[in-house]
Amino acid sequence: MRKAVTQPTLDTVIVRFGGELWIKKPWTRRTYERRLIDNMKHTLKRHEIPFREIIRKHGRLYLKTNQPIEASSKLARVFGIASVSPAQQTTPKLNDIIRTSLSLADQTLQPGNSFAIKCRRVGTQPYTSADICREVGRQILEKFGKKRNLTVNLKHPDVTLGVEIREEDAFIYASVIGGAGGMPLGTQPRLVGLLSGGLDSAVACWLTMKRGAPTVPVYFDNTPFTDEATTKRAIEVAKVLFDWATGFSRRMYIVPHGQNLAEFLEKCPHRFTCLLCKRIMYRVAEKIAEMTKAEGIVTGEAIGEQASQTIPNLRVLNQAAQKYPIHRPLLGFDKAETERIARKIGTYEPSSLKAKGCTAAPKKPATMAKLHEIMVAEEKLNIQQMVEASVQQLQTLNL
């Protein structure tokens, strides 16, 4: 009996878009699709996965490759993709669908498994989707049911066999791998991301990347108020972020910032140090945004997470950025939620590398600073000169 079933040759990856793409106007959608295809090609090339073509059809992309499993796992990390399925292509003839489904079921269904058949159809065929589900299900039970102790479970099956019929083609698949979601990288202009290397800033940058904006990481090096391990941590985190942006620049900026901190400590009330520090970071980031033609600044701030991140303090901070918006994607996140994303995207591990906290941070930081107090403190500094000196000493890393 089992001899009749031929070995399946998975030859395709079905690529599904996020739902949001469908509410875009046709012109925007085509631009987004083209960008997505480009990003997919870069990713496959980087991982040396050969493919024959990417076909755009019926609101899906179909990647033709003889390594669909490997390709699927890499494409699942391309922004703009909702999900992928390694699949086998066949014709929409009932016999071909059944034969291919049986062959995939043979490979996939383990003893004791429950299964379901799902069918989606575009075009005119001499059968309904329900016909396919019934017939494929029946034949699987007939061929493997007893031998493998299989059961049908439509609600929570162990394996769902998918049949996707698209006019002249049909695709059979047994798994749906969740993708990164979001929008294709490059469909929004560049942003500058303040990356400390800690959990929050990494997730914040990833979130703006997810929504399509290439985000250039900028690290402020607090040496001698921190150690080299902290810089190394930031670099490792940046590398993980760049792996989500294949085809885009892997440039990171490092700003020497210790001298600025020393000046705050010398000349200003210590409880303002963190606010003064962040305000100058925003100003330097604005200069880098200008240089890199970016359109905004991303930070990992969440309301109330740290003393510098109370709502009154965020207001004081904002006032320092005059030309560019400060984007804070983690604003409403709990720490546990940020951690969950960090684990998913791979920054949790490098962000947890040993790093010395900033020794310039005060024991009792101001939680409700008044803008005028900060302005008075800043009058004792030559802010403009400090910003310019920081920008002049900017280091560039290509990772």
Residues that bind its own copies (CB under 8 A): 18-20, 28, 181-183, 187-189, 191, 204, 207-208, 210-213, 295-296, 302-305, 310-312, 314-315, 318, 324-329, 331-332, 334-337, 367
d(CA 218, CA 233): 13
Q: How far is the CB of 125 from its own copies (least distance, A)?
A: 30
Minimum distance from residue 292 beta carbon to its own copies (Å): 14
Which stretches does DSSP call E strand in the chain?
Answer: 12-17, 53-57, 60-64, 81-90, 114-122, 151-152, 159-166, 169-173, 177-178, 191-194, 215-221, 251-256, 297-298, 326-327, 395-398
For the CB of residue 393, give the shortest distance to its own copies in the complex, in Å: 27
SS3 131: helix
Pick between residue 18 and residue 137 the one whose CB is nearest to its own copies.
18
Q: Which of 60, 122, 126 is nearest to 93 (CA)?
A: 126
Q: Which is nearer to its own copies, 29 or 64 (CB)?
A: 29
305-338: burial string, b at 16+ Cβ within 10 Å, e else:
bebbbbeebbebbeebbeebebbbbbbebeeeeb
98 versus 298: smaller Cβ distance to its own copies: 298
Q: Least Å distance between CB 197 and its own copies?
A: 18
Q: Find the shortest distance in angstroms from Cβ 27 to its own copies.
A: 10
Q: Which is nearer to its own copies, 147 or 323 (CB)?
A: 323
Rounded Cα distance, 310 and 257, in Å: 23
Nearer to its own copies, 10 or 199 (CB): 199
Pick between residue 120 and residue 370 the one whose CB is nearest to its own copies.
370
CA distances to 95, 289, 297, 312, 394 from 323, in Å: 64, 10, 10, 20, 20
At closest approach, how far in Å is the CB of 198 from its own copies? 13
* Rounded distance between C-alpha atoms, residue 332 and residue 303, angstroms: 6
